[in-house]
Amino acid sequence: MKIPGRLVGIGAAVALIGGVTVAVTTYGAEAATESLLSQGRPATSSSDELSSLGPGNAVDGNTGTRWASAEGVDPQWIRVDLGAAKTITHVNLSWEAAYAKAYQIQTSPDGSAWTTIFSTTTGNGATDDLTGLNGTGRYVRVLGTARGTTYGYSLWEFKVYGTTPGTQPSASPTPSKTPSSSPTPSKTPSSSPSAGKDLTDPRKKDIAMQLVSSAENSSLDWKAQYKYIEDIGDGRGYTAGIIGFCSGTGDMLELVQLYTQRVPGNVLAKYLPALRNVDGTDSHAGLDPNFTRDWKTAAADPAFQTAQNDERDRVYFNPSVQQAKADGLRALGQFAYYDAIVMHGPGDSAVSFGGIRRAAMAKARTPAQGGDEFTYLNAFLDARVAAMKTEEAHSDTSRVDTAQRVFLNNRNFDLNPPLSWKVYGDPFSIPA
């Protein structure tokens, strides 16, 4: 269930993506002293695919806007001016669909002479959280030297953290390099989620998937939904898979594109031209009569299941959870953001995730701004309901009213089970 046009076509949706996902859950002394240096600072780039996809989008703190370079050209770069020399300890890169097989993080005192503080040649996509870095400079840039696709490079967010020289943290940990599409938790989860863990904890993430599946598929068995596909008559063409990828909104196209990059000649590859043609419409032209059958065949392929997981995380889960954490929200708020971006898309219109968040912030301050978490989440859910009621297909707001609002009223900010809720009148529960 997505808003049409929330994503541009894959030709513009390209990414500069690192060779490894680098994740450190605990930063020690560094976590207590470093600060975000790049947000709102001047940014420049080697090229922009469109004027609306300029480098400032990558440092604006908005996960619904992005920078994209010209297509088909190596090398390309984006840099941010921090205004004065800083000690760089941590860079977070949130990438779009295509990626760099090779890139470098570089610092410079003057924008001319560059020093490399991180590099990789085995990029595989998703989000890179590069901690334990050690560099100094006024300027920081990402230099992409080898594309992972035929397109270009693109970043949703380019975040640089550090300190002013002379106040740098004590010995930084060595970066932990994990070839994965999402951060690896530092601890093995227990048999049930514990208080305080956020939505990136595997057990909490599974709860989030069950909650969304209860609304999208009337079932808690979200892993059974890889093969799901139907036209639900909402103007978005076919809706399919674990998160409701739609043929009319771009994300199904990007999923099949990713699958084909990984498994050339797969059973869905032949539909790529048709998926490009129907993007932005509810048409089945070029897909019928066998697309639904072939989708179900592909769903038995572990590589296609992994592709669905990775696209879910890249487009929906990672950006929403990152934004919620930046807003000071715990697991319940992270889920509220995630569920909203699943339904409304990651855009910035009044009825997309960015617009809903903006409307909520006009009514209440986020915890990160010193506001009350309960008050802010109520404002966010109110804005979410208002957005849902603008569209007939989403006019039933029970996934908020008798689910998320129930958890909020119970002050279950950590989203700990047992959980009981209703969606469309159907009862669901997750035991402790």
Instruction: Tally the residues of the chain.
Output: 432
| CA atoms within a 13 Å half-sphere pointing along the CA-CB vector of 316 | 29
Q: Rounded CA gap, 200 and 236, in Å?
A: 30
Dist CA 118 CA 399 (whole Å): 43
What six digits make up the tokens of 195? 């208080």
Backbone angles phi, psi at 152, to 5 degrees: -130, -135
CA dihedral 204, 205, 208, 212 (to 10 degrees): -160
Q: Which residues, listed in sequence order, are joined to residue 137 by a DSSP beta bridge?
A: 86
Helix H or strand E segment including 36? strand 35-36
Q: Phi/psi zone of residue 336: left (φ > 0), alpha (ψ -120 to 50 degrees), beta?
A: alpha
Cβ-defined contacts of 236-240 (< 8 Å, 24+) = 236/1, 236/2, 236/4, 236/282, 237/278, 237/281, 237/282, 237/283, 237/284, 238/284, 238/287, 238/291, 238/292, 239/1, 240/295
**DSSP summary character for residue 15:** -
Cβ-proximal residues to 158 (8 Å cutoff; 6+ apart), any chain? 38, 43, 58, 59, 67, 78, 80, 91, 92, 93, 94, 142
Question: Phi-psi category of 168—alpha, beta or left, where left has phi over 0 and alpha has psi -120 to 50?
Answer: beta
Return the residue matching tokens 């990672």. Answer: 318
Is 234 catalytic? The answer is: yes
Catalytic residue among 49, 157, 201, 234: 234
Is the CB of residue 124 less than 8 Å from the CB of residue 99? yes
Is 201 a known active-site residue? Answer: no
Strand partners, 86: 137
Going by C-beta distance under 8 Å and a sequence separation of 6 or more, which residues neighbour residue 269?
256, 259, 260
The catalytic residue among 30, 34, 128, 216 is 216
Q: How far apart are CA 283 and CA 78, in angstroms?
A: 38
Per DSSP, the residues of 286-297 read TTTTTHHHHHHH
**Which residues are marked as active site?**
216, 234
